Amino acid sequence: MTDLELKKFKKVLKDENLRLTPQRVEVFREVCNSEEHREAEEIYLALRKKDLNVSRSTVYRTMDILYKYDLVERMDIGDGKWRYEHWLNCHHHDHLICIRCGTIVEFTNTQIEEIQKDVAEKFNYQLVRHVHQLFGLCKQCRKMPISVN
C-alpha cells in the first residue's frame, strides 16, 4: 500500500463521514498489496493468516465501501462470488479467463471501446459501464489432455 493509496482512502472516509478504523485500514492494505482477483472470503482468510483478525462481516462491509467509492474494481465471472482487484492508478481493462485453471489476465482494446460507444449510441443508451469477458483455455491448459474425472 503506497502513501498515496492510504491518503486517498483516508480522504474518502473523511468526505463520507466514515471512521478510520484499524480494521478498514487492514482490509484496504490487504487488497492493495495483492495483484490477484480475490473473493471477500479469500481476503478474510489472508488477514486471519497474518493474525489480523478482522471479522467476515467487516471484510464484506469494507469491500462494499471500497467498491462504492471506486477504490477497487470488482468482477463477476458467473460463479456467484464477487472478485476484487485493486484499482487505484490502474486503467480500465477487461478480462481473459481460463475455464480450466481459472487464470485471469487483463486486456485493453481501444478499438472495442470505440465500437461499444457506437453500439450504445445506435440503441440510444447512455453507456455507464460494461462487462467484457473472454472465456477459453490458456496456453498451458490447451496442451493438457481432458480429464475424465
Partner DNA sequence: GTTCTTATTGAGATTGAATCTCAAATGAGA
Partner DNA sequence: TCTCATTTGAGATTCAATCTCAATAAGAAC
Tell me which DSSP letter residue 86 carries. Answer: E
Is 82 one of the binding residues for DNA (CB under 7 A)? Answer: yes
All cell numbers assigned to 37: 482477483
Smallest distance, Å, CB 104 to its own copies? Answer: 11
45 binds its own copies (CB under 8 A): no
Q: Rounded to the nearest whole angstrom, what is the least distance from the CB of residue 75 to DNA in the complex?
A: 11
The amino acid at 95: H
Site string for DNA, 27-56 (x = CB under 7 A): ------------xxx-----------xxxx
Kindly state the smallest distance separating residue 115's Cβ from DNA, in Å.
30
* Cβ atoms < 10 Å from Cβ of 6: 15
Question: Which positions ≥6 away from 136 have C-beta within 8 Å?
Answer: 96, 97, 98, 99
